[in-house]
A and B are shown apart, each in its own frame.
Chain A
């Protein structure tokens, strides 16, 4: 029973972070209708920024959120403005050019990072990296708990932003119907740029929050890109609420899989869920809630 509860807690805490990763992807997906296959790589860049700040300047990983998020926002804006938006005007047979472009961008980001930092494993050691506290018999990693609550905070902020602000409303309008939004005077090009920036900033936040408890190397992006799209498919394409539930579900599935099946199948569990969702619940959680 304790093992079960412990796994449950670990899964939910990890799931909060996954939700943050998935939310960025989901936003981009909803507004532009493309899957950003450079998502994990953007997270990797955010993690390296955190690593640099903590290694050379001794800045606490949580404080470096204030640097990594704006930096990734700018990077995302640049990517959307100079590589993805021009593609909309290019006349080509295959509409998936933008997806392919994100793959290329992901490769470039990974290789530039490898160029600068080499393939060595890096990590940030803080006083609370390995600290835990106990509730009854169950141990909680302090860093994960902090990360979970910051992730919840960001999620709430995103809700407020999407529901109450002008830009947020424009983003939702563009996601629902691009042409109609354009007719209502929404500058949809600007909205796509802002959305990509926001998505990148969110995933950078997730990366920074992971940093105290995780290790870092240039190829880390790939697995997280896959996790992000499993979360997005699980939650329903373009749904923000769905992304959170998708994240927590994936976190739980991975935790239980690792405990009861074996660590070697860690990555495969996500993919099996992916196929099961496609088979039995196409549309993801979004279809159940109708939000």
Chain B
């Protein structure tokens, strides 16, 4: 079962857009696949190597801006950004890691947060190149969502597969040893600085590619969207944590759950309250619906707090705990 589950999932994902023609659900699935890529990237540096990064948006935004600038200034197809975006993101990650990997734990997290802010400022101030707050607008290549869907799917499958291969190679074991005990790893002769750099660059490359995909798909970016701390960096952490820190399929589950939850809050429980208000005509529900759709970031924040308190290792990581909590009788059956 465990072996074929990913295969079944893949088949479902391949036939999904052929069965479900609704553009809104296709849009959501493209976002899910994009978050799978970002979450996998975050998982490599934070989940496996233990260097929690708050600055994923820096790589994401660099990738997106690379694609955007290529299309806008050089009139090259923005799809080239898929390749160059990842490389440019590595170009940001390399000096950053070189300087900041002398920091550990929370201090590294802070430094990455600073990187995020610096990148946003640069994108805002460097108007000749990035158009500043005006943003970059490009023409989409396809009218239908289906080509984007399959490109996103391919990228997601490749990145999950890539992480799987890396984590079962020698590098992967080095990463894990750094997470568990950096000093012990060092004393065993592992060049921790070097392997942390490798890990960060893998993460940056994947995230940068996702950023380029975002640019191609959305057709519009500005600094406050792609370098957003809450919408990108924190969301990436949530995808990683909700799904399961340090598990291959954690980001897949996490991306699915988080995009669903995000949409759930944004649309006011999928328009449940609005529908109810229209049905019953009660004033209270109309007001409630208005407030709930306003408060979606609040719901998001509360979710962060709850997830960290109750599910610190994510759905995949704490799966056993969830099953035990939900089906206490089942546990009894196993033990007897």
Contact = CB atoms under 8 A, between A and B. Distances in A.
A112 B294 CA distance: 11
Contact of B117 (A96, A100, A267): A267
A233 B113 CA distance: 13
A35 B245 contact: no
B308 A100 contact: yes
Contact of B106 (A34, A265, A274, A279): A34
B309 A83 contact: yes
Contact of B308 (A33, A101, A274, A278): A101
Question: Which size bracket describes the interface of B in this complex?
Answer: 35 or more
Interface string B235-269: 00100010001100000000000000000000000
B89 interface: no
B121 A111 contact: no
B301 A93 contact: no
Contacts of A90: 309, 312
Contacts, number: 122
A265 B245 contact: no
A103 interface: yes
B312 A107 contact: no
A83 B295 CA distance: 21
Contacts of A97: 308, 312
Given A229-B110, A278-B103, A108 B298 contact: yes
B44 to A, nearest CB: 14
Interface of B: 46-47, 50, 52, 54, 99-100, 102-103, 105-107, 109-111, 113-114, 117-118, 121, 125, 179, 229-230, 234, 237, 241, 245-246, 291, 294-295, 297-298, 300-302, 304-305, 308-309, 312-313, 317
20 contacts: A86-B309, A91-B312, A91-B313, A93-B246, A93-B317, A96-B105, A97-B312, A99-B109, A100-B237, A100-B304, A104-B301, A107-B234, A107-B301, A115-B291, A229-B110, A233-B110, A271-B114, A271-B118, A275-B99, A282-B102
Interface of A: 33-35, 37, 83, 86-87, 90-97, 99-101, 103-108, 110-112, 115, 222, 226, 229, 233, 237, 264-265, 267-268, 271-272, 274-275, 278-279, 282
